Structure 1
């Protein structure tokens, strides 16, 4: 099989963004595989983007690649033809399955490694960023698993910035009778999430045991407002938007409800937590994964409101 690799330098910040957003490449057929890597530990801000294709990338595709990493605007990409090989399999081999508590997230090549009794989700290698291979997503899975082990029960769940849909699917697997809604500011992400729902037999709809998917920023969509307040709200985005959304999430989460925030560096965690303390949340848990932090916050209860129950 003919295959090609396009390589561009990028910054560490650009690489981190690409772990959650590979649009518009998700619309290509077949979807190319994007991999980012650190070039030299002595230069931590210098990273590299490699994109694998089944055919030689066109000029338009090269332009799209450069738009993903603006720092490469004046750089000529390196494009090479690879020896005949199954490049999809090779790229998937580099994406080891993720096991977080009862969850197992894998690419198609790892189907024969599924452990007995796990909650399993399959995401194609071309969509691998944001599927659990990134520390923040894996950390969110770990917190969801802990909440279930603690006996928490949730009736209304929202996943804001859903990406591939993996966190919404995971929450649905743990609380199958809940009403779940998943949104993303990027229409392409919602298309990918819908495809992944079909692959993983997740039902799309507005009823109990189904997930409603829509394009929206924050809680701006009327459907998100109509279904609020939420017992559980998950937002794996970036620190800046999370701080801006603190008042909105403060109104969108029910008293006694749970808020899981991710996408923030460890050094940003205090500022994010402070913004939410000012909006009636208390920090219940901080999980560190590498340079990243995942925060679990609880909305302060008010008299006369029944909080999310425990089993």
Structure 2
């Protein structure tokens, strides 16, 4: 078995996990001319991803003019929506976007290592789990690399790259080239829990939640301060709703376990919202309520 990346002429990429971020990663690839095998356990989620892709194709180029314009029927034809991970065998590279639950990722990486031919790399789109920990589950640690796409992926100009201790120069170069094909810059950071973006941003979300919880400030007021005074496009609570409050809470739990610092203890308000099923946009309500058309 070799650990060399071999791009194939069809330029087919795999995306595992068709949720909020995975569906936008799929859309980003399709808008830039790639074929995609999109895998999820849920047929319902695959159907939602199909709707998300159609929406991205229609509205993405209006929001980010640099995006190519692709007919909706061509975009949908470029994606194989499947519940069968064996269909990833013909992909040149796979991006994983499943839940931040260690047991879920552990089982998936062992399965991917069995399915994928030698030379096929794995991009880890994780919020907090170290790349080296996942790479150690595989026979190809030099081809495992963190690629932290932000949501929605097709509207972002940059991606955080987490290079594991064993990630090869070739794998890093491949990812830089792939991101360049998407019109993005890759910003390389170290491999530590939470990385740069989430170690900082999730404290931001958590403190915003505490302000609402402890002082009764309306979420819209908290967000307005950061949008109008600091020029943020979205406030911290709007962003947490977009990411998914369950994902934010899980990430805070990982950071707390990793660093043992109580500043990462999830706020009671956020924990209560998660327990009640108010996970953000994907469920129609979190800190805010959303019409059905805004949920995905």
Q: TM-score, normalised by structure 2?
A: 0.37
Which of the pair has more CA radius of gyration?
1
What is the TM-score of this pair, normalised by structure 1? 0.36
Greater per-residue helix proportion: 2
